[in-house]
């Protein structure tokens, strides 16, 4: 973990939040390469879970919602973790994450009795006496349920259909830890798939298999399925997709059968009719819901840990990120062999500019000698490096080097786009 955290900061993937002021626990900032990696992961998720599926509708719901949403969903009263405090050093911990429930892991002092702590961030909406208490949403799902009727009225979809969204969520974690694994501000890729009650099992299996395909597509090694016994109040069946982190096996994603809990709860609380007209049966029903929920940040962490590789190349030790080409922040780097040879630089710029139109995430690099450039691009996961040398001036071919093997081959400039 230390090696990945160090690389992430040194190479511009992830920085500690508010670092110049000493940081803020549970917050992290994505640098240029981390943002590119995260965006590529989100684009791939949207492609696989929305664009390649039938009848999935996109949504971007507001972070702030009417507080009655969280009362109906059960979050206002039940979204809690057990909090314990050390009587000696006053440090606080989540009781369910401690091996010894009586002794402080920091100073050895006695831990007090557990108290339930609501993790939602409370805020004020409005001005002065007219302000109301609301919350920063702890999940994106409720924005989807609150817009169920809008989607029905606008698009008249037939069951089964889904509503998908990628967005921020906030939880006032008692003990944020393990880099970006547990944060107070994070991002979710979530889909609520509405189905007839009698068909939930086959649709559950469909999304289960797609989540496994997604893990393979982003290069995550070793995803384990765990049928949860301790279920949330809304769930009848939940599978945790777990990953072997350096700190132990823990949750990566979740797949839940939420039944019709949410739609019924919001229908009762709001008075709105959140039923669906089944034309074949000529009756109104309340659909049941399958929810694939994937955390963006935990996905980034699992991707980085899976991709981090140490080996020897040419008798020298090196570190590289074995990122799939589809999500690598940089698709390829273009080098002039020597940056002080005008004819090489001019030709390399021509190659770079011709590729940049088709590959926006291609970069120019002439900093340092060729060996240092290769090592730098390896460490940030660039799949291919393209070098323009003196032979290029004679025959319009370039050297293309593969990140994983270090092998180099000559490729005609005219064939570069197809090669990449």
Helix 2-10, helix 296-307: angle, nearest 10: 100
Q: Please determine, for residue 117, whether its predicted confidence score (pLDDT) is greater than 90.
A: no
Name the one residue in this structure whose structure tokens are 């007839």: 196
Mean pLDDT calculated for residue range 299-313: 96
Domains and CATH numbers, the chain: 2-73+131-305 (3.30.930.10), 330-419 (3.40.50.800)
pLDDT of residue 205: 96
pLDDT of residue 395: 95
Percent of the chain with pLDDT over 90: 82
| CA 351 vs CA 32, 244, 384, 396: distances in Å | 24, 42, 14, 10
**Tens of pLDDT along 170-209?**
999 888 889 999 999 999 999 999 999 999 999 999 999 9
Give every CB contact of residue 41 below 8 A, 6+ residues apart in sequence.
218, 296, 299, 300, 303, 327
Alpha-carbon span 161 to 213, nearest angstrom: 20
Q: Please determine, for residue 30, whether its predicted confidence score (pLDDT) is greater than 90.
A: yes
Q: Is 184 within 8 Å of 173 (Cβ atoms)? A: yes
Measured from the Cβ of residue 211, the count of other Cβ atoms closer than 10 Å reads: 22
- DSSP letter at 13 equals S
Measured from the Cβ of residue 282, the count of other Cβ atoms closer than 10 Å reads: 7
- For residue 233, name the pLDDT band (cuts at 50, 70, 90): low
Alpha-carbon span 397 to 338, nearest angstrom: 16
Mean pLDDT calculated for residue range 9-25: 96
**Tens of pLDDT along 267-291?**
999 999 999 998 877 899 999 999 9
pLDDT of residue 83: 86
pLDDT of residue 229: 74
Q: How many CA atoms lie within 13 A of 365 on its CB side?
A: 23
Alpha-carbon span 413 to 10, nearest angstrom: 33
Q: Is 178 within 8 Å of 69 (Cβ atoms)? A: no
Query: Which helix (H) or strand (E) segment is 227 a member of?
Result: strand 223-227
**Tens of pLDDT along 154-168?**
999 999 999 999 999
**Summary mean pLDDT of the chain:** 94
Tokens of 380: 């940030």
Q: Is 162 within 8 Å of 151 (Cβ atoms)? A: no
Mean pLDDT calculated for residue range 369-374: 94
Tokens of 10: 């040194």
| CA 5 vs CA 137, 258, 317, 319: distances in Å | 28, 36, 19, 14
> Which residues on neighbouring strands pair with residue 400, listed in sequence order?
386, 409
pLDDT of residue 119: 85
Cis peptide before 323 (omega within 30 of 0): no
pLDDT of residue 201: 95
Tokens of 322: 């074995």
pLDDT of residue 419: 92
**Tens of pLDDT along 407-418?**
999 999 999 999
- DSSP letter at 358 equals T
- For residue 341, name the pLDDT band (cuts at 50, 70, 90): very high
Alpha-carbon span 268 to 275, nearest angstrom: 11
Percent of the chain with pLDDT over 70: 99
pLDDT of residue 6: 97
Residue of 81 and 38 predicted with greater confidence: 38
**pTM (2 decimals)?**
0.92
Rounded (to 5) percent helix, strand, coil in the chain? 35, 30, 35
């Amino acid at each position: 973990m230390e090696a990945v955290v160090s690389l992430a900061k040194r190479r511009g993937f992830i920085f500690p939040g508010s670092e110049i002021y000493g940081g803020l626990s549970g917050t992290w900032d994505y640098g240029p390469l981390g943002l590119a990696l995260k965006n590529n992961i989100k684009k791939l998720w949207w492609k696989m879970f929305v664009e390649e599926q039938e009848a999935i509708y996109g949504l971007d719901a507001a972070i702030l919602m009417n507080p009655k949403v969280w009362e109906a969903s059960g979050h206002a009263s039940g979204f809690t973790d057990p909090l314990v405090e050390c009587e000696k050093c006053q440090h606080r911990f989540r009781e369910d994450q401690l091996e010894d429930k009586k002794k402080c892991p920091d100073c050895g002092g006695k831990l007090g009795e557990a108290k339930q702590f609501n993790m939602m961030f409370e805020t004020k909406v409005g001005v002065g006496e007219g302000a109301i208490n609301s919350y920063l949403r702890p999940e994106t799902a409720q924005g989807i349920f609150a817009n169920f009727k809008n989607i029905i009225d606008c698009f008249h979809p037939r069951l089964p259909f889904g509503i998908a969204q990628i967005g921020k969520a906030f939880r006032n974690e008692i003990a944020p830890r393990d880099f970006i694994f547990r944060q107070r501000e994070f991002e979710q890729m979530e889909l609520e798939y509405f189905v007839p009650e009698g068909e939930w099992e086959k649709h559950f299996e469909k999304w289960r298999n797609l989540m496994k395909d997604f893990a393979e597509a982003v290069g995550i090694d070793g995803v384990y399925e765990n049928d949860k016994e301790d279920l949330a109040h809304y769930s009848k069946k939940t599978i945790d997709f777990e990953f072997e982190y350096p700190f132990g096996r823990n949750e990566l994603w979740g797949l839940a059968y939420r039944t019709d809990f949410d739609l019924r709860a919001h229908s009762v609380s709001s008075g709105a009719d959140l039923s669906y007209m089944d034309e074949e049966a000529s009756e109104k029903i309340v659909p049941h819901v399958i929810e694939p929920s994937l955390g963006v940040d935990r996905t980034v962490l699992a991707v980085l840990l899976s991709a981090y590789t140490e080996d020897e190349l040419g008798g020298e030790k090196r570190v590289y990120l074995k990122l799939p080409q589809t999500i690598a922040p940089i698709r390829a780097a273009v080098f002039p062999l020597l940056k002080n040879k005008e004819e090489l630089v001019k030709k390399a710029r021509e190659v770079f500019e011709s590729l940049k139109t088709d590959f926006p995430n291609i970069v120019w690099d002439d900093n340092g000698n060729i060996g240092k450039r290769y090592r730098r691009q390896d460490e940030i996961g660039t799949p291919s490096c393209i070098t323009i040398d003196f032979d290029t001036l004679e025959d319009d071919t370039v050297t293309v080097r593969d990140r994983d093997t270090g092998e180099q081959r000559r490729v005609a400039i005219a064939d570069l786009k197809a090669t990449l």
